[in-house]
Chains A and B, each alone.
Chain A
Amino acid sequence: MSDIMTAKDLNLWYGETHALKNVNITIPEKSITAFIGPSGCGKSTFLKTLNRMNDLIPSVKITGEVCYNGQNIYDSLVDVNELRREIGMVFQKPNPFPMSIYDNIAYGPRTHGIKSKVKLDEIVEQSLRDAAIWDEVKDRLKKNALGMSGGQQQRLCIARALAVKPKILLMDEPTSALDPISTSRIEELAIELKKSYTIVIVTHNMQQAVRISDNTAFFLLGELIEYGETEKLFSQPTDKRTEDYITGRFG
Chain B
Amino acid sequence: MKKNKLIERTIHGIFLILGLLTVGCVLLITVYLVISGIPAITEIGLFDFLFGAKWASTASEPEFGILPFILTSIYGTAGAILIGVPIGFFAAVYLSKLANPKVKAFMEGAVSLLAGIPSVVYGLVGMLVLVPAVREIFDIPDGASLFSAIIVLAIMILPSIIKVSMTALEAVPKEYEDASLALGATPIETYFKVSVPAAKSGIAAAVVLGVGRAIGEAMAVMMVSGNVPNMPSLFQSVRFLTTAVASEMSYSSGLQQQALFSIALVLFLFIMLINATLNFFLKKEKD
Q: Given known contacts A97-B198, A111-B189, is B182 in contact with A161 (CB within 8 Å)? A: yes
* Most A-side CB within 10 Å, residue of B179, B184, B186: B184
Number of A-B residue pairs having CB atoms within 8 Å of each other in the complex = 63
Nearest CB in chain A: distance from B259 CB, A = 50
Residues of B within 8 A of A164 (CB): 183-184
Across-interface contacts of B179 in A (CB, < 8 A): 91, 95-97, 157, 160
B61 within 8 A of A: no
Return the CB mask of B174-198 against A: 1 if under 8 Å, else 0.
0110111111111001000110011
CA distance A141 to B148 in the complex (A): 50
| Contact pick for B181, options A84, A86, A98, A112, CB 8 Å | A84
**CB atoms of A93 and B175 under 8 A apart:** yes
Chain B stretch 182-238: residues in CB contact (< 8 A) with chain A = 182-186, 189, 193-194, 197-198
A56 within 8 Å of B (CB atoms) = yes
CB-CB under 8 A from B184, the residues of chain A are 81-86, 108, 111-112, 164
Q: Does B116 contact A (CB under 8 A)?
A: no
For B177, give the chain A residue with the smallest CB separation.
A56
Number of B residues contacting the other chain (C-beta, 8 Å)?
A: 17
A108 to B193, CA, bound (A): 11
CB distance from A138 to the nearest CB of B (A): 22
The answer to whether A111 and B193 have CB atoms under 8 Å apart is yes
Q: Does B173 contact A (CB under 8 A)?
A: yes
Chain B CB within 8 A of A148 CB: no
- Pick the most buried of A51, A83, A107: most chain B CB atoms within 10 A of its CB: A107
Q: Does A53 lie at the interface of the complex (its beta carbon under 8 Å from any beta carbon of B)? A: yes
Q: Complex Cα distance A51/B178, Å?
A: 12
Check A53–B181 contact: CB distance below 8 A: yes
Q: Are B176 and A95 in contact (CB under 8 A)?
A: yes
Q: How far is the CA of A160 from the CA of B182 in the complex (A)?
A: 10
Residues of chain A lying within 8 A (CB to CB) of residue B197: 98-99
Chain A positions 44 through 88: 1 when the CB is less than 8 Å from some CB of chain B, otherwise 0: 000000010100100000000000000000000000011111101
A41 touches B (CB below 8 Å): no
Check A91–B181 contact: CB distance below 8 A: no
Q: Do residues A111 and B198 form an inter-chain contact, with CB atoms below 8 A?
A: no
Please tell me if the beta carbons of B182 and A88 are within 8 angstroms of each other in the complex.
Answer: yes
Q: Which residues of B contact A200 (CB under 8 A)?
A: none
Q: How far is the CA of A192 from the CA of B126 in the complex (A)?
A: 69
A85 near B183: Cβ-Cβ < 8 Å: yes
Partner of A111, one of B173, B176, B185: B185
Question: Of A82, A85, A97, A108, which contacts B176 at CB under 8 A?
Answer: A97
Q: Interface residues, chain A, CB within 8 Å of chain B?
A: 51, 53, 56, 81-86, 88-89, 91, 93, 95-99, 107-108, 111-112, 157, 160-161, 164
Interface of B toward A, CB cutoff 8 Å:
173, 175-176, 178-186, 189, 193-194, 197-198
Residue pairs across A and B with Cβ atoms less than 8 A apart, 20 shown, are A51-B182, A56-B178, A56-B181, A81-B184, A81-B185, A81-B186, A82-B184, A83-B184, A84-B181, A85-B184, A86-B184, A88-B183, A97-B176, A97-B179, A107-B183, A111-B183, A111-B184, A111-B189, A161-B182, A164-B183
